[in-house]
Chain A
């Protein structure tokens, strides 16, 4: 190699090295996540102590199509729910039939109470031979053993508080709660203008009649909270203060203390992440436990107590013009 040839060697070396380095980039492996296709969606929520709920079956739709559970209903399926013993043998089988009036909504043929601490298995066979199964173990029972300040002035010194006797859990696992507040005002027979006057200040200021409906504020939910958030009392109960943020309407409200099963927990926590748990634009799929389909076959235990929240500026129930409806808007679907 002489001096004169050096530049040529250098340039050739550069080109070779650059080509080699660029080639490294072509060696990467492709990702092989499952491409989604239409799936059967199951929706059922078993509540401890209540009757077996209906089961709704539908199909997922392409993201560009509107979703309508009736139009996308799975019709004429064989649906049954089996109650299992602790050793997973079948203790009882409850068959379901589709309601003629609501396509895709299947109800039990006989009424049967959901037992806490019991496992249920859903089995679905569609008329195109697709099968779907899912299992839930119902938590509970849960009981509110004491209520303090069940009539309270909004943001006053005496917050409503509930002492709750918890369901027992095995091992180191803990109960997971979600708290609901349901306004018992009569939404059907009360004018919107009157209902708006019953909104607490925070919700009243954020309410946009062009975008929002008052009914959408009737139920507020806390999100998922671990039992570890609360200190145990001497008798192993816990005491929960009602945060004022949970109260959207003055007047009569019903507070629900709910404990969810693993299926419900996984579904709720992952669906919350879809709303913004990752970096902007990143949306993971929900964690679900349905073999052969998607959706939720979950369960929960609930204890409810009524409270009366008074407006600090008014006397009485704080919603003087709005009459109350003692029936919560919904329990099971």
Chain B
């Protein structure tokens, strides 16, 4: 280990020392890439010096730097999906360090002129293994159940799924939702759901970019075993004040964004505010007046996203973003009973980016995340109250250093303090009161090394200290990209990951989700991941991606599901510990642009878990079993057809192997239990765990959209969609109940069983 540390330090020193010879003889360019129409920075845009074999991508602040450029004349190409490619001939002197900010016009503004595109330098080719991105347009254009939703759109991608039509929680490459780190402007969101899981919390009007790391993610991120979803709010339009309004069946949305201060050409900054609120009250009132049973007295949600940016100087940018969302439910299913549930998240993020010369880009971010839920039940004068809270305060400092044309070194410090609270009150007596807190400090360093234009190696290491239990963990990461040809890229990656938190969730009602953390006697989980992949451009528009992955999961800790009551139970004994594994292959064929665009994705996968007392053999040893979110086959076709400039047809089709479930084999009843009513028996089922599969799931959603200008004051888009167009009755789960004649009755609970229409009107001012 000492030798390893020495080598690492020596390597870092070699990388960080700039090469004076090169610096004297070569030139460099750097700057931001922005949307010309709004001034929004474009993340992960491709920047290329044509013919020089030099290229890079903008970072997550939209900033790029290219070092080691031979003096002389070059053609700069900057591209981003959905935008016209920027080309400029630039002449650089020896030693010149040029600041060159670039603005790309959106593709829809394209006139008849010929737009130069890269010759084989498609920006998608540069994407790291296991990653994907989602544009706001992809989220809002594809058919969706009642509301456009970020997570449901992500679930169309290979390797990503949700548990049911009613849950938007993401299951990525065989991992459970707690194994995915969800970030909003760098802030962890602990319960990213509305409507108790039906939707994610993210308002598409407020979002600029969604980045998905499905696995083997880089050292910059940590704290979760599986994957990362990083969502960025819009900065706000720097050119003009604009707004929009969307009316939908479930909720309506409005946003406004624009510049402030300074001059029209050079505003001091920009802002963005987006609000969304459910509009179900009239429907609920009508259902109640019609005498419907079980209709909530109130059921609503809202969320607000806001962000303000300030350009303090060409090299300094400050931003402050806020998110707040809340769900409310009051329902009295029968006399003398009432359930009152409300839960929500609030996040705040303050960000300062600073450029030190042309080689160092720094970001300092202070984030706060808060989650509260307080379900209350009043039954026959007996009150149950649960107070569940999460507080997370984090400071992240990141440096990106480009010493020469071959290396880009990133390093950072991430420190956070977390506090989880859970209090249960029964009949005015506090029966459980838990307040646990922990501090986590992580340091990472990674180097992206491009020895030639064909090879890219990214190596890094992340060290983490977790105060609760005094755990130290070291996690190496490595990825290799090789351009076999100008159109084919081979990729491989390995990483080790640790997770110090776990989520207790029912998959049914996310308001009751609770987070727990490692401690003495509860070691953090760990995982090793490998991935192999190939990306290929098939002609000008088509791309093919094939990736295989394998994951181990060790020391998984979950709240023991067999523990009926936590009171008085020592913390480590509240958990059961297990392991798991997942492996699979993902295939994605995509056409990003053109009249007919979309993608076809297929995943062949397997995920398994092993925990005590579940799926045991004759000697009582636990055996691996597939959790209910295991899917052997998953196929998605998402298509978007631009019929005319004004009419667009969209559709998604999804096929999945049926979920694993437990089909009982044997049964018996206990007829004399003294704690049961004399006329009732205790029904006991005997079966291997999750030994059967539900019927295959498939669903077709269709949509048609009309765009145009409304009375010369606003652009409009009217969408009409049909969800589950051919009325497939997919099964959600089976339930078994014992009948009075001694037989067992099976009832099936369907997913969305009928075609659901969706109608929305969006106006942009």
Contacts and interface: CB of A to CB of B under 8 A. Distances in A.
A66 B585 contact: no
A111 interface: no
Nearest to A174: B568
A58 B613 CA distance: 24
Contacts of B624: 29, 31
A269 interface: yes
Contacts of A315: none
Given A225-B565, A241-B427, A280-B508, A66 B742 contact: yes
A242 B604 CA distance: 55
A20 B585 CA distance: 10
Contacts of A178: 675
Contacts of A31: 608, 615, 623-626, 688
B282 interface: no
Contacts of A274: 684-685
A327 to B, nearest CB: 12
A170 interface: no
A333 B567 contact: no
Contact-size category for B: 35 or more
Contacts of A20: 532, 548
B532 A17 contact: yes
Contacts of A37: 666
Given A63-B666, A69-B671, A21 B548 contact: yes
Which residue among A39, A59, A200, A286 has the maximum number of chain B CB atoms within 10 Å of its CB?
A286
Interface in A132-156: 154-155
A22 B585 contact: yes
Given A17-B490, A61-B667, 14 more contacts: A22-B548, A22-B585, A33-B617, A43-B670, A43-B672, A63-B663, A155-B381, A213-B679, A219-B675, A229-B568, A243-B427, A247-B380, A269-B562, A285-B685
Interface of B: 163, 334-337, 379-382, 426-427, 429, 431-432, 484-485, 487-488, 490, 506-508, 532, 534, 536, 544, 546-548, 550, 561-570, 583-585, 587, 604-606, 608, 613-618, 623-628, 659-680, 682, 684-691, 694, 732-736, 738, 741-744, 749
A223 B488 CA distance: 62
Contacts of B570: 172
A113 interface: no
A155 B380 CA distance: 8
B133 to A, nearest CB: 23
Given A281-B628, A284-B614, A219 B678 contact: yes
Interface residues of A, number: 106
Interface in A289-333: 294-296, 300, 302, 329-333
Nearest to B506: A279
Contacts of A24: 548, 550, 583, 585
A300 B744 CA distance: 30
B569 A66 contact: no
A149 B569 CA distance: 31
A223 B564 contact: yes
B335 A226 contact: no
Contacts of B666: 36-39, 60-63
Contacts, number: 295
Given A34-B618, A270-B562, A274-B684, A45 B163 contact: no
Contact of B659 (A14, A34, A281): A281
A283 interface: yes
Interface in A242-295: 243-247, 258, 268-274, 277-287, 294-295
A185 interface: no
B661 A216 contact: no
A333 B674 contact: yes
Contacts of B744: 63-64
B392 to A, nearest CB: 27
B625 A33 contact: yes
Given A35-B665, A56-B671, A25 B544 contact: no
Given A34-B616, A280-B732, A216 B680 contact: yes
Nearest to A177: B565
A206 interface: yes
A281 B661 contact: yes
A53 B672 CA distance: 11
B583 A25 contact: yes
